[in-house]
Structure 1
Amino acid sequence: MKYQTYKPYKDLASIVKFYWTLEVPFDPKNQKQKIVPDGCIEMTFNFGDKIKRYTSENDFILHPNAMVMGQRTKSYDILPVGNVDTFAICFYPVGFVNFVKSPLENLVDKETPIAELFGEAEANELERQMIQAIDTQKRIDIIETFLLKKLNERTTISNIVKSTVDTLLKTNGTTPINVILKDDISKRKQLERHFKKQIGISPKQLGKAIRLQANLHLLLNKKSETLTDIAYENEYFDQNHFIKDFKELVGVTPKEFLGNENMTLSALFYK
């Protein structure tokens, strides 16, 4: 399993978090892998075999080869049917809205073919170029040319959304929304409305996803000795509150996550 990340061009650095590639040779013994919410939207290009995304224990859909995965409010399982060869763009929470006109709440918890977002002709040409590219650097060049061109049609991010996201990122999702808004109830509905359109999910859901990433980093890198240490470091009231939030988003407890072969990919992504 080969996973690598790449930094974006400086003009995209406030919008694109990073690019990543994943190569995994097929093994009939491969297990389902759980993908957890991370507060980001991703555009992915699949150059290998199809990937299943399970909608129940046995039912699944096949990922489109070129798609956008919207904000996730829950974990889900995937399983490749053959070799994996993927290139992806990971956008900051306020990043992807710059490139589409559709409300991002329409993309939540599902895979949307890029043709539905950018039009069939433009999407097909982009996919063709990405498939024919000789290496990862060429693919980065292609996608950055595409994104920079799209920025000319830029959508304005509302100040209330940007300032809220900035605060959540700086504090690892621990700052309550009422504190960010300074208890101004009149701003709460405005924020919720703008968030659904420009981020896709509510401020509270984004905060939970960002907080989960901080928890996973501590858990996987053994930066804290115990679950209680992790709970207090990320400002949970107690260990039980931390475990409850973790299981709600991931589907298993922190202890069950560690060493679980179904979590290998998530551990690789978020370590």
Structure 2
Amino acid sequence: MHTLPDIRQLFRPVQPAINQEQVSYQEQPPSLLLSKYIYCYWQLSSRGPLAEPFTYRVVADGCIDLFFNTDTPEDFYIMGFSTTYTEFPLDNPFNYIGIRFLPAAFPLLFRIDAAELTNRFEALKAVAPALSKGLTQQVQAHQQLSSLQPLLDNYFGAILSQTFHEADSRFFDALDLILKTHGTLNLNTDLHTGISPRQLRRLFDFYIGSSPKTFSKVVRFQHILHAKPSARSLRENKLFYDAGYYDQAHFIKEFKTMYGLTPTIALR
């Protein structure tokens, strides 16, 4: 049996702040028991009717999310590993609650192949019917994350206690190396795991949803977001070199693909 290593100190996925008075976004950590598996619970909601439609941008973060609209708790959705940003036009008003799993945690718990969800979001009932039904029973009649969080902690805690986790430790060694180097290591020379690149790719496809190279790109991008550099410091200090980008053009292109905006606009 091999459980997930505690990667929270190595990897803390960031989503863009919402600078709009009529829209609220909050995150709450799970119980300590679940902290290796679930990064956070989150709630995205409008404060009354909005003057204009709202589009929520989700940037690439290496995670798998479950979410639902509190008006339709029977309709849970799952969003897989994303190589790009995604935009969601939301109904007005709206109230969404979600669960963000740390990399590899969801496939480890539920034996769902992450590669089948990459760059997609699906109805959870089509992917994991029993999980969808169980979650719907937990969340009905709840409009606020504060009241729902203890129920979710108990629900996932029970699943954790009844689940046998079995995964190749060499996969976790590779995951640890990528996170400790913020995605900047040379995958051809520095990723010594004891298995062939083909075997490692197969493991990353199942547990992450993409290759070690693509996952490293997302980790590198997230490290830049977490550092919160100003556009000026990125330009003057050439921080993109330290982050493993070839040059400024490479950095801007990759950042825009994963964020949807250029660094100058996103980081100002």
Would the TM-score normalized by the shorter structure come out above 0.5?
A: yes
Question: Cα distance 1:227–1:18, how it changes in 2: closer, same or farther (>3 A)?
Answer: farther
Alpha-carbon displacement from aligned partner over 1:227-247 (angstroms, at most 9, x marks no partner): 353313423233222112213
* TM-score of the aligned structures, taking structure 2 as reference length: 0.79
Partner of 1:37: 60
Matched, 1:23 2:22: no
* TM-score of the aligned structures, taking structure 1 as reference length: 0.78
Query: How far did residue 214 of structure 1 move?
Result: 1.7
Letter in 2 for 1:27: L
Alpha-carbon displacement from aligned partner over 1:42-88 (angstroms, at most 9, x marks no partner): 111221589xxxxxxxxxxxxx8411111011222211121221221
How many angstroms apart in 2 are the aligned matches of 1:216 and 1:134?
A: 30
How many angstroms apart in 2 are the aligned matches of 1:224 and 1:218?
A: 14
Query: How far did residue 203 of structure 1 move?
Result: 1.0
Matched, 1:94 2:104: yes
Partner of 1:226: 234
Question: Cα distance 1:228–1:234, how it changes in 2: closer, same or farther (>3 A)?
Answer: farther
1:136 to 139, 145, 148: 145
Letter in 1 for 2:43: T
Percent of residue pairs bearing the same amino acid type:
25
Alpha-carbon displacement from aligned partner over 1:93-128 (angstroms, at most 9, x marks no partner): 1211132223111111111222223325x5234213
Matched, 1:126 2:135: yes
SS state at 2:230 partner: coil
How many angstroms apart in 2 are the aligned matches of 1:216 and 1:30?
A: 26
Unaligned runs of 5+ in 2: 1-22
Partner of 1:109: 119
Question: Cα distance 1:79–1:112, how it changes in 2: closer, same or farther (>3 A)?
Answer: same
Provide the aligned length of Structure 1 versus Structure 2.
Answer: 243
SS state at 2:132 partner: helix
How many angstroms apart in 2 are the aligned matches of 1:211 and 1:41?
A: 18
SS state at 1:102 partner: coil
How many angstroms apart in 2 are the aligned matches of 1:49 and 1:123?
A: 13
Q: Is the 8 A contact 2:104 2:207 kept in 1?
A: yes
Unaligned runs of 5+ in 1: 51-63, 260-271
How many angstroms apart in 1 are the aligned matches of 2:264 and 2:231?
A: 15
2:201 to 182, 187, 192: 192
Alpha-carbon displacement from aligned partner over 1:126-183 (angstroms, at most 9, x marks no partner): 2132122364233122222222222222332321221122222222211222244249
Q: Is the 8 A contact 1:100 1:117 kept in 2?
A: no
Letter in 2 for 1:139: L
Matched, 1:11 2:33: yes
1:239 to 221, 236, 248: 248
Question: Cα distance 1:47–1:138, how it changes in 2: closer, same or farther (>3 A)?
Answer: same
Q: Is the 8 A contact 1:45 1:87 kept in 2?
A: yes
Matched, 1:249 2:247: no
Q: Is the 8 A contact 1:228 1:239 kept in 2?
A: no
Partner of 1:266: none
Letter in 2 for 1:23: S
1:168 to 168, 175, 178: 178
Letter in 2 for 1:42: D
Query: How far did residue 250 of structure 1 move?
Result: 3.1
Q: Aligned Cα RMSD in Å?
A: 2.7
Partner of 1:73: 83
SS state at 1:21 partner: strand
Letter in 1 for 2:212: P
